[in-house]
Structure 1
Amino acid sequence: MGYFVAATGFAALLLLLLTTYRQVNLQKSLLQLVCVSGAVWAGTTGLQLIYGYPLLFSLVTESLFNGILSLLLLGTIISAERLSEVIKHKLMILCGVIFLVATLEICRLLVPFLHQKVFFFAHLCQAIIGLWFIENLYRRSHRQELQAIKPICLGLGMIYGYNFALYADAFLTNVIAPSFWDGRGWIIATAIPLIVLTTRRLNRWASRVYVSRDVIYHSTLILVAGIYLLAMSIVSFFIKAAGVSWADTAQTIFFALSSLVLASLFLSSPLRRRLKVFIAKHFFANKYEYRQEWITFCASLEHHERSPYDNALAAMRGPFGCTAGLLASMKNGRLQAVSHDGCAAASPEATYLLEHLGLPAIEHDWIIDFEKLKAGYEVPPFSVEHDRLPAPAPFSVLVPVHSDGGFQGVFLLSRPTSTDTVDWEDRDLMHAIGSQLAVYLTMYEANQKLAESQQFDTFNRMSSFLVHDLKNVVAQLQLLSRNAARHKHNPEFIDDAFDTVESAVNRLNNVLSQLRSKRIDADSTQHIEIAPVIAQVCQTRSVQEPCPVFRDLTHEPIRLDANKERFENILNHLIQNAQDATDAQGQVDITLQVTGNHCQIDITDNGHGMSQDFIQHRLFKPFDTTKGNAGMGIGAYDAKNMIEQLGGHVTVQSAPEQGTRFVLAVPLSTRSPQKNPTILKE
């Protein structure tokens, strides 16, 4: 009987493997052949016991099973991808020995030329080879695969160990003991579930083998009940064996009480639920195809035509097939709907659930199944007024979503259509998706705040530059007003005054234009001659002591492609800084010279100077000023920024009380100066 059970087990495993494999490799193909040969071997041996066929038929099929199984074990040990790799391996000689024995046994069926004892010894050697392969498989497996390998090592080790004892006894006595031979069928049948566990756990053999949960659940209950009753029977036997007069009565009472305890355990709903979860978690393929679910989840977050909140709601609803859903975010201490689909955002049911259950669910990270909650099957770690819960429609599940210091909210979902009831696997997947969406929405809201902050930074920066321009205009007008009393009757002063006013008007119009457009316009590049620009700036800064002294060491006009107005501004600022840092009796010198293919502008003073720490950490930092409210802290920053945009660089040499030297090195323009057209006269 045991052999037929084993044959049925191998056939069932083969059927499951054929219907659940999605891709084929060497190990999976060999495993299928092992199931075929195992079913044939067990069936042949069972028929041999019933009809008395020659023993050699069973030995031949057993050798074929051992040979194919040895190929599978060897291929797994060396991680072979093709059969040729197994055949070329040096250990293939052991597999060849087994197939040679099978060949000799087939020949023995046709021509009797070897004694039966030789074949007993050959099968004894097969058992030793099998045990050696099992030991190598376990020893050479990666640490991560040991848990997957253990079941098949135990199962096959049990078969080969039994065979070793069986054939060792047969070799010594020259006959197979009937009890040994009959019991082996049950040993093989017992090993098949262990093989199934490895095929499920090991990636190289993996298949999504599914057996009805109800079948395993009730079988487990029967098995547990049998073990329990057996243990109680043993205890009652010892009670009766005590030999006291009341032993029979005590035995009956003990057995009755034991049955009562067993019935109580079987009727315990928590125990039954825990047993179901345990079986589902440890003995079955997962309900969801997580690779595909992850791909779909990522794709649902990439719909740019929808808001991130809509994407998050779709990502949460997708795996569970929910027809309606709502996402609420914590804002100003209360949950507010930010996305909904298939339901109203402000329905009375949603409002009540968000106000009374949303915050506790977030605090305890608890998924609420409203149907189980109302029925009393679910006891959350916070108080709930069951009589005030609204009807479950349209919502069935509440899923909290939160991250530390980030997004906080809840999903309200309709009844999942992917499952009859929300079990542990659904909850685990909801938690996993919720954790990812919390990070996703936290990043989105952080980016929104960052964008707002950047807009304010841009506005503040624009304001600072505009105020800087206004200061330059005010300085021009102050200079004009200061000299008006002495030179107002001088025609040249009047001409300069109009030029100054015109320049101020142009600057103010530029400021107004930038304020209207809410941005700083890009610089317009001009082909300018440097020396006249420096001379003009020095003349403008002559109103402040010490007056700057300009020395042009070039022998021909030096031109630059830059925005003239901005170039004047940075020179004006750097010269003013030099004047502010120098006493009235000091010196401020500006020198223009050519070094290689660069023009070099030196602004030197003998003022207070700066420390190296200040130069490295504060001089070119925007909005950092040492002038208090009188400065904006952007002059040096703007100068460095412009020179670097032109492809040049700024060098600063300074020391406290030893003066400062600014060196501006800018590439020379490669364009030829435009000549004025010649007008021919008659």
Structure 2
Amino acid sequence: MFGMLMEVALVSYLVASLTFALFGAFLFVRHHGQPRRVVLGAICAVNALWALLLALPLWAPANWPMAAALLEGARNLAWDLFILLLIGAFGRDGGKGREGRRTVPHADRWLVLVAAFYGLQLACTLAVSWRYGYPLQAGEFTAMTLLRTTSAILGLFLIEQLYRNTIDTQRWGIKFACLGMGLMFAYDFYLYSDALLFRHFSPDTWAARGFVNALAVPLIAISALRNPRWSLGLKVSRQVLFHSAALFGSAAYLLVMASTGYYVRLFGGSWGTVAQLAFLCAALVLLLGALFSGGVRSRLRVFISKHFYHYNYDYREVWLAFTGSLSAKGPDLERRVVEAMARLVESPAGAAFVVRAEGIETVARWNMAVAAQPDAANAELLRYLGEKQWVIDLVQHREHPAHYDHLVLPAWLREVPRGWLVVPLHVQGALFGFVLLAQSRSPIKLNWEVTDLLKIAGRQAGSFLAQHQVATDLMVARQFESFNRMSTFVVHDLKNLVAQLSLLMANAERHKDNPEFQRDMIDTVDFSVQKMRLLLHKLSRKDSAERNEVIALEPLLQRILHAKAGFGPAARLIVAASGLQVTADVERLERVIGHLVQNALEAVAPVTGQVDVRLDRVGEQALVEIIDNGHGMSEQFIRERLFKPFETTKSAGMGIGVFESREYLHLLGGELQVQSTEGAGTRMGMRLPLHVSAAHAAPQLLEENP
């Protein structure tokens, strides 16, 4: 009876192994560049090997108890990871996945939980003594059976999450796969829970396990037929596949090296241990060198893209990385453009060139010693790139020049070592420049997909470079504008000083013997010297920032009127409210008010003219009015020309005095009001916020000066 049961078990597990092997081979052969089928095929291969290891001891006197136990854990882990990958791919587009599934919360935490659980199971498996697939000790038997029961429960839980988080219209595509995987985990749960209860495995249940696993294959195959692309939301990114391939490759390499090291030690005699350590160290150094090698990594990426994907690029990841490189903070945008475009084709070097009026200028170099040189063929190259907008393959150009209309390339470009691609940079249909890339680390077929991506990337990079150049030119223009404006204000101040000195010289011959005139002359010259020294000091010091301070308006107005006494009729100061203070830069405020007073003096008649400067308080503001009976201004002139910089009606004027006055008053929080009538005169009103202490002064100050 027991012998017949052994034969049934042998057939059962052989059927399971053969079924999984055939289905896995079918998926590998007919994967059509679909990584989903490759992953599922690998899982089937693990299941086939696991079933085979359980069948062989029933047929031959071989026994691999540890290997069978490890493969069973690997089998369960593979199915769990497959389900987690399906779950983790959902919920990326506003709560619904690309395949129409709802978001599964905390799927990444489940991955950590699964990894921790199987790590614990692996440690326990390695610590247990096995015979014929079973632990020898009773305590070890209970612990391992409990872990495997938990593994079955975990698998059923993940399958339930996968099915429940798939919308109804999509469940038809995965329900048979869920049934197949659920059948395997449910049977394992029954097998191990029964063993946990009765302290031994049921021989009948164990023998039928292979048939049950084989029955799961057709169910999974039905889902594969319903979904030829296995569109269950399984989106294996290139980065994940790249790192997984590198990880598994490294693990396989280390396993082979460890086995080789064992035999080196075994047959090495007295030098065995030393030779083994030296061999393993050399193998580890070789592995690290390969992992950090740009060429090896490049070849692996190209191999994965070529054999597992329909397209060479994951365009979402590529474009995010490309745009992120260009928009990163910091200088050297041209260099970042070269590096970003080089990464698209695994190129290790490159250079960027822009078109100038005088020819081609090299603006960036990355691992490439090249510089544009004057050449008669430069103009022909720029014309060709501008008209055709093609990516030029320098290798193809050397072999088949007719493909590029027998274009003659500049000598400096032909002589670049390992030069490969010339990518044009276009902005609004015009050629802005081009990027030269070196040959890639691994062979890349330059097909339409690669050239189209390079063209689009070239347009994007050209836009960034053009915007950067415009911003640089604008910054330089603003610096020149600031310098010119400062020069204009300097000339304006000098003009006022020259006007004062000119008036002094005009009256000197007639009043040179008048002692009062002599005193005024000395004061005027001294005032002019102080103003010029102050102007030179401002121009020479690096920190010319204005310093605001509390200013009493009445003494300031008296000083201004005294300085303007020789420019025409004597201006009269009328103080309607005394003790008013404001916060401002004293020199600039004096210049602003002095300019408006001088304009009023120049606008009135020499004999009948009258200028009044009135100081008053309006609420929380000081009001300084300059009133004259001069020729006045029209409303159109005030509206269109008065405050326009560099507009003036004076032969020696600069046209910035009133403009500067209004801008500075606005800066202080005040305003400049103008009322004027042609032939009747003008009233300029300056409103300034009062200093805090002055604004809360006793109201009797106003009562004393009604």
- TM class by smaller structure: 0.5 to 0.7
Picking from 382, 385, 390, the partner of 1:361 is 385
Partner amino acid for 1:625? T
> Displacement, 1:437?
1.2
User: What residue in structure 2 maps to residue 63 of structure 1?
Assistant: none
- Alignment check: 8 A CA contact 1:583 1:607 kept: yes
Matched residues in 2 for 1:327 and 1:530: separation? 62
The secondary structure found in structure 1 opposite 2:322 is helix
Instruction: Show the 5 A alignment for 1:464-613.
Output: 464-517=488-541, 521-545=544-568, 547-554=570-577, 556-584=578-606, 585-613=608-636
Matched residues in 1 for 2:347 and 2:663: separation? 56
Runs (5+) with no aligned partner, structure 2: 1-18, 45-89, 91-95, 105-159, 184-219, 239-304, 696-706
Matched residues in 2 for 1:206 and 1:513: separation? 70
Partner amino acid for 2:686? L
Picking from 6, 9, 12, the partner of 2:27 is 12
Partner amino acid for 1:326? A
Matched residues in 2 for 1:565 and 1:512: separation? 14
The secondary structure found in structure 2 opposite 1:384 is coil
> Displacement, 1:474?
1.4
Matched, 1:335 2:360: yes
Matched residues in 1 for 2:316 and 2:564: separation? 72
Instruction: Show the 5 A alignment for 1:297-336.
Output: 297-301=322-326, 307-336=332-361
> Displacement, 1:543?
3.6
Matched residues in 1 for 2:533 and 2:487: separation? 15
- Alignment check: 8 A CA contact 2:378 2:410 kept: no
1:193–1:333 distance in 2 versus 1, CA, 3 Å:
farther
User: What residue in structure 2 maps to residue 444 of structure 1?
Assistant: 468
Matched residues in 2 for 1:508 and 1:189: separation? 95
> Displacement, 1:562?
2.6
Matched residues in 2 for 1:328 and 1:90: separation? 53
1:660–1:491 distance in 2 versus 1, CA, 3 Å:
closer
**Number of residue pairs matched?**
463
The secondary structure found in structure 2 opposite 1:630 is coil
Matched residues in 2 for 1:424 and 1:18: separation? 18
Partner amino acid for 1:373? H
Matched residues in 2 for 1:377 and 1:192: separation? 49
The secondary structure found in structure 1 opposite 2:227 is helix
Partner amino acid for 2:422? L
> Displacement, 1:462?
1.0
> Displacement, 1:567?
2.0
> Displacement, 1:647?
2.5
Residues 615-668 of structure 1: CA distance to partner in whole angstroms, max 9, x if unpaired? 4444333223233x4211211122122222322222223455554322111122
> Displacement, 1:593?
0.6
User: What residue in structure 2 maps to residue 413 of structure 1?
Assistant: 437
Matched residues in 2 for 1:591 and 1:625: separation? 26
1:362–1:561 distance in 2 versus 1, CA, 3 Å:
same
User: What residue in structure 1 maps to residue 661 of structure 2?
Assistant: 639
Runs (5+) with no aligned partner, structure 1: 22-27, 37-71, 107-187, 210-279, 674-682
Partner amino acid for 2:669? G
1:526–1:495 distance in 2 versus 1, CA, 3 Å:
farther
The secondary structure found in structure 1 opposite 2:360 is strand
- Alignment check: 8 A CA contact 1:551 1:590 kept: yes
- Alignment check: 8 A CA contact 1:309 1:338 kept: yes
Instruction: Show the 5 A alignment for 1:392-403.
Output: 393-403=417-427
- Alignment check: 8 A CA contact 2:326 2:337 kept: yes
Matched residues in 2 for 1:405 and 1:586: separation? 66
Partner amino acid for 1:648? G
User: What residue in structure 1 maps to residue 227 of structure 2?
Assistant: 195
Matched residues in 2 for 1:85 and 1:295: separation? 30
- Alignment check: 8 A CA contact 2:673 2:685 kept: yes
- Alignment check: 8 A CA contact 1:605 1:659 kept: yes
Residues 533-584 of structure 1: CA distance to partner in whole angstroms, max 9, x if unpaired? 2233234434445543321112x33233333332222112112323444445
**Root-mean-square deviation (Å):** 4.9
Partner amino acid for 2:346? G
- Alignment check: 8 A CA contact 2:101 2:167 kept: no
Indicate the percent of aligned positions where both proteins have the same amino acid.
30
Partner amino acid for 2:355? M
Partner amino acid for 1:589? D
Matched residues in 2 for 1:505 and 1:452: separation? 34
The secondary structure found in structure 1 opposite 2:403 is coil
1:509–1:384 distance in 2 versus 1, CA, 3 Å:
same
Matched residues in 1 for 2:372 and 2:674: separation? 68
Partner amino acid for 2:227? I
Partner amino acid for 2:318? E
User: What residue in structure 2 maps to residue 175 of structure 1?
Assistant: none
Partner amino acid for 1:632? M
1:294–1:617 distance in 2 versus 1, CA, 3 Å:
farther
Matched residues in 2 for 1:76 and 1:317: separation? 31
Matched residues in 1 for 2:504 and 2:429: separation? 58
> Displacement, 1:490?
3.8
Instruction: Show the 5 A alignment for 1:204-219.
Output: 204=233, 206=235
> Displacement, 1:395?
0.7
The secondary structure found in structure 2 opposite 1:533 is helix
User: What residue in structure 2 maps to residue 435 of structure 1?
Assistant: 459
Matched residues in 2 for 1:323 and 1:407: separation? 25
Matched residues in 2 for 1:13 and 1:654: separation? 93
Greater mean deviation of Cα atoms: 78-87 or 565-574: 78-87
- Alignment check: 8 A CA contact 2:101 2:166 kept: no
Q: TM-score scaled to structure 2, two decimals?
A: 0.55
The secondary structure found in structure 2 opposite 1:12 is helix
> Displacement, 1:589?
2.5
Matched, 1:384 2:399: no
User: What residue in structure 1 maps to residue 449 of structure 2?
Assistant: 425
User: What residue in structure 1 maps to residue 690 of structure 2?
Assistant: 668
- Alignment check: 8 A CA contact 2:33 2:310 kept: no
User: What residue in structure 1 maps to residue 281 of structure 2?
Assistant: none
Residues 373-421 of structure 1: CA distance to partner in whole angstroms, max 9, x if unpaired? 33338723x4425999946842111111121387711212111235432
- Alignment check: 8 A CA contact 1:526 1:563 kept: yes
User: What residue in structure 2 maps to residue 454 of structure 1?
Assistant: 478
Matched residues in 2 for 1:504 and 1:442: separation? 50
Partner amino acid for 1:537? I
> Displacement, 1:460?
0.9
- Alignment check: 8 A CA contact 1:527 1:562 kept: yes
Structure with more contact order per residue of length (Cα contacts < 8 Å, sep ≥ 6): 2
The secondary structure found in structure 1 opposite 2:626 is strand
Picking from 627, 650, 656, the partner of 2:672 is 650
Matched residues in 2 for 1:582 and 1:406: separation? 60
> Displacement, 1:196?
3.5
1:11–1:516 distance in 2 versus 1, CA, 3 Å:
same
- Alignment check: 8 A CA contact 1:343 1:394 kept: no
Matched residues in 1 for 2:591 and 2:388: separation? 61
1:32–1:603 distance in 2 versus 1, CA, 3 Å:
farther
1:655–1:488 distance in 2 versus 1, CA, 3 Å:
closer
- Alignment check: 8 A CA contact 1:371 1:392 kept: no
The secondary structure found in structure 2 opposite 1:436 is helix
- Alignment check: 8 A CA contact 2:425 2:433 kept: yes
1:351–1:660 distance in 2 versus 1, CA, 3 Å:
same
Partner amino acid for 2:468? Y
Partner amino acid for 1:314? E
Matched residues in 1 for 2:590 and 2:416: separation? 74
Partner amino acid for 1:562? A
